[in-house]
Amino acid sequence: MEASISLRAAANTPTRVVALQSIHLKPRLRFFKPTPVGSSMAHNTPLSIQAQKSELKEASAEITERDALKIKEWEVGMFRDEVAASQGIRIRRRPPTGPPLHYVGPFEFRIQNEGNTPRNILEEIVWHKDLEVSQMKEREPLPVLKKALENAPPVRDFIGALKTANLQTGLPGLIAEVKKASPSRGVLREDFDPVEIAKAYEKGGAACLSVLTDQKYFQGGFENLEKIRNSGVKCPLLCKEFVIDAWQIYYARTKGADAILLIAAVLPDLDIKYMTKICKLLGLTPLVEVHDEREMDRVLGIDGIELIGINNRNLETFKVDISNTKNLLQGERGRIIRERGIIVVGESGLFTPADIAYVQEAGVKAVLVGESIVKQDDPSKGIVGLFGKDISC
């Protein structure tokens, strides 16, 4: 009781203070001897000063350097949320009212605080990704990945492939997505063989492929990326991930990615700038995804962006509206994009030749399509249906 009241109060205090309180609360929990069963005493008995001191000593020894580092990391994450919010980003990188469970041992109920409930699916995915990446990083720290880069397959030119396809067909270059399931649509294809699907896409004229690597929410995996890359498929590959840490970019490259998604709804400007630099260092193409005017303006404010995706699906609400692509390419924004030669990808919710014509008219040189083609028995025929003609030669 004592503990939960203290923590509830702590949950309302500024974030940096909460983390520190969690350290001090730990010994405080033990300042009272438990009331013996059957005792007539109405409340707990205070410990002697001496006993309190030794409890404190014992407790502070428990706070290892490692815990302190974890808490520090969490604090930095909270600060990042403040910066992100000032840029209109609603996604918080981590649960706001306390470090995740495993960081603080006994305070398990923190995670159940009301404020620790993700506000939407994108936020839930990001919170989960944060834990997932921290575990993956422990298994394969950056120096190990850097070493593995030496054996990574050579990088393929993602933008080049899109431009060539666009010139050859007069239609937007196709990035065909290898996706088994999604939180909004459930399972799209039961008999899911990623390599078979990738080969069918390539045969059907896809310029590039997008491979979902998130396991929990999309039933994807890095092994799919790796398998496709080793299968003889020639198309450049986009790693479709929720990137929150530069470590993931290195990891994607070791698995054979040629491009990687960076989501502006999740990443503040500084992260996009930094991660774009890492991508360039590794030869990867960053595809920076936006879904509203503010995100588009932020991304246009960053130097050196060559490929922008406009998502017609709002990842927070799942609402799909292909006129989003048109709206974001109108007026001044469209002019800047043309002037700089930025390639724009129309993403999500594209099903028919009319949809393709509509986004092409709006100014895209490429499209990213999953559902409408992955669902077809033969995905290469799905591509013919999508464009209204064979684009394979």
Ligand X SMILES: O=P(O)(O)OC[C@@H](O)[C@@H](O)c1c[nH]c2ccccc12
C-alpha 295/C-alpha 347 separation (Å) is 15
Considering only residues 292 to 331 of the shown chain, the ones binding ligand X according to CB under 6 A are 311
Provide, rounded to whole angstroms, the least separation between the CB of residue 314 and ligand X.
10
Whose tokens are 């404020």? That residue is: 115
8 Å CB contact between 121 and 318: yes
In this chain, which residue has its C-beta nearest to ligand X?
370
The CA-to-CA distance between both ends of the chain, in Å, stands at: 71
Give the range of 31-39, 148-156, 222-230, 362-370 binding ligand X by CB under 6 A.
362-370
Q: Which amino acid, 6?
A: S
Nearer to ligand X by Cβ, of 152 and 161: the residue is 161
Compute the C-alpha angle 40/44/46, nearest 5°.
130
Q: Does residue number 369 form part of the binding site for ligand X (CB under 6 A)?
A: yes
Q: Does residue number 355 form part of the binding site for ligand X (CB under 6 A)?
A: no
Provide, rounded to whole angstroms, the least separation between the CB of residue 54 and ligand X.
52
Q: Does residue number 380 form part of the binding site for ligand X (CB under 6 A)?
A: no
Would you report the helix, strand and coil content of the chain in percent, each value rounded to 5? 50, 15, 35
Give the range of 49-57, 130-138, 246-254, 343-351 binding ligand X by CB under 6 A.
343-351
Interface mask toward ligand X for 234-253; x: CB under 6 A: ------x-------------
Provide, rounded to whole angstroms, the least separation between the CB of residue 125 and ligand X.
8
Q: Does residue number 368 form part of the binding site for ligand X (CB under 6 A)?
A: yes
Nearer to ligand X by Cβ, of 103 and 127: the residue is 127
- Furthest-apart CA atoms within the chain: distance in Å: 88
Nearer to ligand X by Cβ, of 78 and 288: the residue is 288
Provide, rounded to whole angstroms, the least separation between the CB of residue 257 and ligand X.
15
Provide, rounded to whole angstroms, the least separation between the CB of residue 303 and ligand X.
24
Q: β-strand 186-187 against 181-182: which pairing, if any?
A: antiparallel
User: Which spans in 230-352 are helix H?
Assistant: 246-254, 269-282, 293-300, 323-328, 331-340
Q: Does residue number 370 form part of the binding site for ligand X (CB under 6 A)?
A: yes
Q: Does residue number 99 form part of the binding site for ligand X (CB under 6 A)?
A: no
Q: Does residue number 177 form part of the binding site for ligand X (CB under 6 A)?
A: yes
Considering only residues 274 to 293 of the shown chain, the ones binding ligand X according to CB under 6 A are 289
Provide, rounded to whole angstroms, the least separation between the CB of residue 240 and ligand X.
6
8 Å CB contact between 166 and 172: yes
Considering only residues 9 to 28 of the shown chain, the ones binding ligand X according to CB under 6 A are none
Q: Where in the chain does DSSP place strands (E)?
A: 32-33, 45-46, 173-178, 181-182, 186-187, 208-212, 237-240, 259-263, 285-290, 307-311, 343-347, 366-369
Please count the residues of the chain. 393
Quote the DSSP letter at residue 287. E
Query: Within 13 Å and on the Cβ side, how many CA atoms surround 109?
Result: 9
Positions that interact with ligand X (CB under 6 A): 177, 179, 240, 289, 311, 347-350, 368-372
